[in-house]
């Protein structure tokens, strides 16, 4: 699956990821730090006895655990807001199973792809702090 978006779309996806970690709900911890902590914790050997080695696998586990937009309606709405008008959330009850699978696969792909970029950017920023 090869999907290319402009920088604005990638930033929207990354902002949506960070929106899952409001500082006021995380003891004032910045969203980026909360995100990297979650991903790092999922990569630890004792993390539920999962065999998670890569950042992408950890983000996938986070998604599967309901970490971001766990409902199909919300995922379709999000993709629609990105300009993928194929996914009309208002008609989701009429979708075929194959359409739901396609939509979820695209959603997961985009979150993993841009979440990995976001994670790497945040880790680099943390390494630059003296």
Q: What is the pLDDT of residues 1-34, one digit of tens each?
A: 445 568 989 999 999 999 999 999 989 999 999 9
Query: H or E stretch including 11?
Result: helix 7-18
In this prediction, residues 70-91 reach a mean pLDDT of 91
62 burial (CB, 10 Å; 0-12 / 13-18 / 19+) is buried
Residue 21, domain member (yes or no): yes
In this prediction, residues 55-75 reach a mean pLDDT of 95
Residue 5, domain member (yes or no): no
Decide: 112 and 54 in contact? Cβ < 8 Å: no
- Report phi then psi at 65, rounded to 5: -80, 5
Residue 115, domain member (yes or no): yes
Give the total number of structural domains in the chain.
Answer: 1
Residue 95, domain member (yes or no): yes
Residue 26, domain member (yes or no): yes
Q: What is the pLDDT of residues 34-59, one digit of tens each?
A: 999 999 998 887 656 677 889 999 99
22 burial (CB, 10 Å; 0-12 / 13-18 / 19+) is exposed
Residue 4, domain member (yes or no): no
What integer pLDDT is reported at residue 99 of this predicted model? 94
Residue 77, domain member (yes or no): yes
Which residue range(s) make up the domain with 37? 15-128
Structure tokens at 18: 């960070």
Q: What is the mean pLDDT of the chain?
A: 90
């Amino acid at each position: 699956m090869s999907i290319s978006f402009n920088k604005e779309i990638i930033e929207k996806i990354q902002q949506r990821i960070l929106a899952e970690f409001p500082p006021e709900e995380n003891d004032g911890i910045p969203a980026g730090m909360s995100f990297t902590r979650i991903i790092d914790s999922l990569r630890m050997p004792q993390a539920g006895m999962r065999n998670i080695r890569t950042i992408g696998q950890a983000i996938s586990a986070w998604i599967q655990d309901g970490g971001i937009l766990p409902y199909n309606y919300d995922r379709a709405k999000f993709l629609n807001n990105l300009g993928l008008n194929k996914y009309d959330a208002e008609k989701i009850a009429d979708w075929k199973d194959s359409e739901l699978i396609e939509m979820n696969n695209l959603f997961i792909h985009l979150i993993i792809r841009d979440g990995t970029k976001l994670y790497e950017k945040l880790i680099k920023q943390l390494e630059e702090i003296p």
